[in-house]
Structure 1
Amino acid sequence: MSRPTRRRRLGVTGAALASAALVVSLAACSGQASAEDAGSTGSAGSVTIAAHTNGAGTQTAVKVDTVQKIADELPAAVKSSGKLVIGVGALPAGFPPLAFTGDDQKTLTGSEPDLGRLVAAVLGLKPELKNATWDNLFVGIDTGATDVGFSNITDTEQRKEKYDFASYRKDELAFTVLKKNTWSFDGDYKNLAGLTVAVSSGTNQEKILLEWKAKLEAAGKTLTIKYYPDANSTYLALNSGKIDANFGPNPTAAYQNTQSASSANPTRTAGTFSGAGDSLQGLIAATVKKGSGLDKPIADAINSLIENGQYAKWLKAYNLSNEGLPTSEINPPGLPLDNQ
């Protein structure tokens, strides 16, 4: 993946959004990080969520037991290897809070690698993290060098031609406002009437916002859209009152809220909207090579984490509870070909 920008890419959902340029600076990703990095795993049967995140997440230790019934579903080659090779497309700069090199300068941390570690624990496997560029993440899955991708990958119908999916998060866009602002989106674009909203040019969220602007104007109402070159400029505009809200990927909004919590101008999320538009709930999914046989054990492992409460703790640690799913599904409806 090229250096993260404020565009919403299918699979990164724009979560990169120049997050590193927000309130705090985080270390850039190194070439590769592994499960043995300090703080990424604990004693047998435990995983430390949000280790070395430099404030992007709340460090949380959870106990995770191997579920032998699920482990027995693994393909023989993976089971005999004793490890789950997890691909993350976070090179070169990372995209907090999802995936980046931690404050110890070596641990690959963030919500995505941490969920991979949790799934590996359920499967009784040692997690081996491989960090790559976005394109090389898929090369690894294609060649079998990587078992599964946990990298904010959007479930799309086009990708289903080559990959199988196990969903684990909603793909959400979010409105960020100053905490003192009482406005809420409430899922209805009519609530945007009279507001000034920032959005990144050329993104999925811009497409959606422009459609709403046209509908409002047809009804004799206004919506002013503003563009800024980077995240810092956007939040300076928000702080100064030049804009009412910013519309972008939910993980970046969550990160901004966390980082600004103790500042003079804390922010909050004023509402979310599906990254797939109003006709479909977009989904983020674990991605495996089609026909590999890994989709079911991984989905079952995620469902075990959901049932036993570790999943909720994982989401809460990264302020992503609003993207939680009730269950992991294998190959659920994805973004259609005419909306990609």
Structure 2
Amino acid sequence: MPALSLRRRILRGLTAGTAVVALAAGLAACGGDSDAATTTTDSASSGTVTVGRLSNGAAQQTTLQVPEVTSISAELPAAVRKSGKLEIGVGALPSGFPPLAYVGSDQKSLTGAEPDLGRLVAAVLGLTPEVKNSTWENLFVGIDSGKVDVAFSNVTDTEERKKKYEFASYRQDNLGWEVPRKSTWNFGGDYENLAGRTVSVGSGTNQEKILLEWKAKLAKEGKKLTVKYFQDQNSTYLALAGGKIDAYFGPNPGIAYHITQVANTPQATRSAGTFSGAGETLQGLIAATAKKDSGLAKPLADAINHLIENGQYAKWLAAWNLSNEAVTKSEINPPGLPVDNS
């Protein structure tokens, strides 16, 4: 991810109550040891993968048939192929980051869009997935040491990270706009559409930097954009429901999660568009991350492209309400955030 930590960016998109629940669940799962790894072994190598399990309403549980593709599994490094396992790293301790990775409704199993994609990729490769949960920092320690083969953990492709890692992209790294369901406003990709609007944003975030730049541009044009800050997400969403703000600008996955949580309430919201977390000149990308020169980037990208071509990828995103972050193709080491913005 860019400058802000993964956990901080995602939790900006949650209600305070949700964050507390996620924190409690995360600590229960790891016994209070934030450096311990929680390992989950699946039977995805059998060719059946169920996404959205134990999601607590964040996803539509969907069972997908994903048989091994031998022409792709043959590309794996010999050691990985011989092991019969794909060690998948997720950096979700201690609190998790719904809907991407968090402790599920059974209070012990890791669920979320990221481990689900790891399981789908493992199935294409004919490997048994072992999902290991750690802190964000120890996620990279695990890759460096060989304890995990690949991270599926909302890692942004950056030029700085390419010095140590290789990537296979699989999702857009987007910020999002959340508005009341009854609102007719949409961002439309043009900051000019913000003229006359009141928008809430988290202080000190990447999205605040972008929003304030747009505010300055509009001011030069004689137009007004009002930016408001609140102490917590509960206050933000109360303001949105009460009409005190027109929109909330935050991490798109967190917004996607919140939309599912309030869908059947009077405070129901919807997405009003997305914007690249890398800014206007580059589409940020989230990527499967492996150790540089590991030989994993190509089989990972080929497996993801197989899922795209055969429709399982679209069903995975739809199950987690993340269709607005779809890519048309997984790329190996695509252009990433420049070093001065990593």
TM tier, shorter chain? over 0.9
Could you tell me which residue of structure 2 aligns to residue 70 of structure 1? 72
Deviation at 1:246, TM superposition (A): 0.3
Q: Using the alignment, how far apart are the partners of 2:166 and 2:329 within structure 1?
A: 16
Structure 1 segments unaligned to the other structure (5+ residues): 2-6
Q: CA contact under 8 A between 1:18 and 1:230: conserved in structure 2? A: no
User: Are 2:116 and 1:121 equivalent residues in the alignment?
Assistant: no
Structure 1 residue 231: deviation in Å? 1.4
Residue in 1 that maps onto 2:59: 57
SS of structure 2 residue aligned to 1:115: helix
* Paired residue type of 2:334: P
> Aligned to 2:46, what secondary structure does the other structure show?
coil
Q: Does 1:34 align with 2:36?
A: no
- Alpha carbons 1:185, 1:271 under 8 Å: kept: yes
CA distance in structure 2 between the aligned counterparts of 1:233 and 1:183, rounded to whole angstroms:
21
Look up the SS of the partner of 2:93 in the other structure: coil
Q: Judge conservation of contact 1:200–1:227 (CA < 8 Å) in 2.
A: yes
| 1:181–1:10 Cα change, 3 Å | same
- Does the Cα contact within 8 Å between 2:69 and 2:125 map onto a contact in 1? yes
Question: CA offsets per residue over residues 264-304 of structure 1, 9 Å max, x none?
Answer: 02101111111000000000000000000011000111011
The offset of 1:35, in angstroms, is: 3.4
**Residue type of the alignment partner of 2:107:** Q
TM-score by length of 1: 0.94
Q: Deviation per CA, 1:77-124, whole angstroms, max 9, x where unpaired? A: 111111000000000010100000111122110000000000000000
**SS of residue paired to 1:119:** helix
Instruction: Decide which of 160, 164, 181 is 2:166's aligned counterpart.
Output: 164
| Cα separation, 1, equivalents of 2:3 and 2:183 | 26
Secondary structure of 1:253's counterpart equals: helix
Structure ranking higher in helix proportion: 2
Of 217, 220, 234, 1:218 maps to 220
Task: Give SS of 2:237's match.
Answer: helix
TM-superposed deviation, 1:204: 0.6
Separation in structure 2 between the aligned mates of residue 259 and residue 281 of structure 1, nearest angstrom? 28
Distance 2:306 2:127 in 1: 15
Matched to 2:198, the amino acid is: T
Are residues 20 and 28 of structure 1, via their aligned partners in 2, closer, same or farther at CA, if it must alter by over 3 Å? farther
Whole-Å separation in 2 of the counterparts to 1:20 and 1:188: 27
Question: How far apart, CA to CA, are the structure 2 residues paired with 1:313 and 1:151?
Answer: 19
Q: What amino acid maps onto 2:101 in structure 1?
A: A
Amino acid at match of 2:40: A
Cα distance in 2 between the residues matched to 1:196 and 1:256: 20
Q: Are positions 1:16 and 2:18 aligned together? A: no
The CA deviation at 1:242 is 1.1
Aligned counterpart, 1:89: 91
Please provide the CA RMSD for this pair. 1.9
Output the TM-score relative to the length of structure 2. Answer: 0.93
> How many angstroms apart in 2 are the aligned matches of 1:33 and 1:145?
13
User: How many correspondences in the alignment?
Assistant: 332
List gaps (5 residues or longer) in structure 2. Answer: 31-36
* Cα pair distance change 1:339/1:201, threshold 3 Å: same
Q: Would you say 1:145 and 2:147 are equivalent positions?
A: yes
Residues 295 and 76 of structure 1: CA distance in aligned 2, closer, same or farther (over 3 Å) = same
The residue number in structure 2 matching 1:194 is 196
Q: Secondary structure at the match of 2:159?
A: coil
Give the drift of 1:56. 1.0
Separation of aligned partners in 1, 2:45 and 2:127: 14
Q: Which residue is equivalent to 1:173?
A: 175
